[in-house]
């Protein structure tokens, strides 16, 4: 009888361990591939200083760095959750703060890059000083300050359970630990909604203005169309990021109808709306931008090691 009662527990444990291994094996290769491309792109920028003469490429570099920091923090939280590691909130809070700030920084960068395209199209010769490459860092610092406001307020309103000690009680490092109060959760959802709505309005405004300019202009329409497609892709990135907030609704609607547990649903959302939008950033510029793509090809060993057969014949 003892063996019979132990079988379900062992089977459940084995199934749980297999699920953890599969999830880790899905996330880590994607993360490593993304990190490789990021380091390759940043090395290309560092090797060719002319990229930093353009505010467009400075903002793109900032986006890559922010997405890398976000993925490092989110993957670290993911691995800690998968391993079931528990530690005090005082060590968990900085990691959650950093992850939240970089996540909120992403839509701010998207809207800023859309505005940069707007300024480049409508003010090609009289660009405002703050949008020039030497002053673009002031905008970047402002974006960091804005993105840190929400997690700061979140920590100020934090209300822990009575039996939880911030210095000694081990807990799983999740945002639900810091959002125990219903009022705090409602405040956070409302502020996130306003935040993303403002960013969406900015991107929509730039898209409509550039679209109207495309129809009006007779010359250099190729540049305007490229800017239009870039803003449209930024809007897609923003939409994917906003979908992360629909997880509670999706869990209520789908978990009971689809054979997925709450943990599997959270993992699916993490891959689709946290990891995947980060990969669109390199694709938008790294593949569509001919100048950057040509320099990256020169850096890659598979291209750099190629020998021109015509040069060999002449020797």
More confident site: 192 or 248: 192
| CA distances, 11 to each of 4, 260, 266 (Å) | 11, 18, 23
Contact 286, 41 (CB under 8 A): yes
Amino acid 179: pLDDT? 65
Q: Which residues contact 273 (CB under 8 A, 6 or more apart)?
A: 240, 241, 243, 244
Would you tell me how many other CB atoms lie within 10 Å of the CB of residue 19? 15
Which DSSP category does 26 fall into? H
pLDDT tops 60 at residue 311: no
Mean pLDDT confidence for 223-242: 77
pLDDT at 11: 41
Q: Please, which pLDDT band fits residue 190 given cuts at 50, 70 and 90?
A: confident
| 279 vs 58: which has the higher pLDDT | 58
* Amino acid 206: pLDDT: 87
Contact by Cβ (8 Å): 282, 292: no
Arithmetic mean of pLDDT, 164-182: 76
pLDDT single digits (tens) 234-275: 788 778 777 766 666 666 666 566 666 777 778 888 888 888
The per-residue DSSP string of 211-252 comes to: HHHHHH--SSHHHHHHHHHHHHHHHHHHHHHHGGGGHHHHHH
CATH architecture for segment(s) 19-300: Up-down Bundle (1.20)
C-alpha torsion 94→147→273→59, nearest 10: -120
Looking at the chain, the whole-number percentage of residues with pLDDT higher than 70 is 78
Listed residue (38, 58, 39) closest to 50, CA to CA: 58
Q: Quick one: pLDDT band at residue 7, thresholds 50, 70, 90?
A: very low
* Of 2 and 215, the one with more pLDDT: 215
Q: Which of 110-124, 147-161, 276-290 has the lowest mean pLDDT?
A: 276-290
Least confident of 12-26, 112-126, 210-224: 210-224
Q: What is the pLDDT of residue 289?
A: 74
Per residue in 59-99, pLDDT (tens digit) is 988 988 998 899 899 899 889 888 888 888 888 888 888 88
State how far the Cα of 52 lies from the Cα of 183, in Å rounded to an integer: 45
Distance CA 294, CA 298 (A): 7
Residue 310 above 60 pLDDT? no
Token pair 């409602």 is found at: 186
Q: Is the confidence at residue 145, as pLDDT, over 90?
A: yes
Q: What is the pLDDT of residues 91-134, one digit of tens each?
A: 888 888 888 899 889 889 888 988 888 888 888 778 788 888 88
């Amino acid at each position: 009888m003892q063996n019979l009662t132990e079988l379900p527990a062992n089977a459940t444990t084995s199934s749980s361990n297999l699920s953890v291994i599969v999830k880790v094996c899905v996330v880590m290769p994607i993360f490593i591939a993304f990190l490789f491309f990021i380091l390759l792109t940043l090395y290309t920028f560092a090797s060719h200083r002319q990229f930093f003469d353009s505010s467009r490429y400075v903002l793109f570099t900032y986006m890559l760095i922010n997405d890398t920091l976000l993925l490092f923090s989110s993957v670290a939280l993911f691995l800690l959750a998968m391993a079931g590691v528990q530690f005090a909130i005082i060590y968990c809070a900085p990691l959650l703060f950093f992850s939240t700030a970089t996540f909120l920084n992403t839509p701010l960068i998207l809207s800023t890059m859309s505005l940069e395209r707007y300024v480049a199209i409508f003010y090609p010769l009289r660009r405002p000083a703050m949008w020039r490459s030497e002053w673009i860092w002031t905008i970047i610092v402002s974006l960091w300050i804005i993105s840190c406001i929400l997690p700061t307020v979140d920590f100020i309103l934090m209300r822990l359970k009575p039996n939880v000690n911030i210095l000694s009680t081990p807990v799983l490092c999740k945002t639900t630990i810091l959002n125990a109060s219903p009022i705090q959760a409602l405040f956070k959802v409302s502020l996130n909604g306003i935040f993303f709505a403002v960013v969406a309005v900015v991107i929509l405004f730039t898209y409509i203005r550039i679209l109207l300019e495309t129809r009006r202009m007779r010359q250099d329409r190729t540049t305007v169309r490229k800017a239009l497609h870039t803003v449209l892709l930024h809007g897609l990135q923003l939409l994917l990021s906003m979908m992360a907030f629909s997880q509670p609704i999706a869990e209520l609607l789908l978990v009971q109808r689809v054979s997925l547990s709450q943990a599997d649903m959270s993992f699916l959302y993490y891959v689709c709306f946290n990891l995947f939008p980060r990969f669109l950033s390199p694709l938008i510029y790294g593949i569509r931008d001919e100048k950057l793509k040509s320099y990256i090809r020169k850096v890659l060993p598979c291209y750099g090691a190629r020998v021109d057969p015509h040069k060999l014949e002449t020797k």
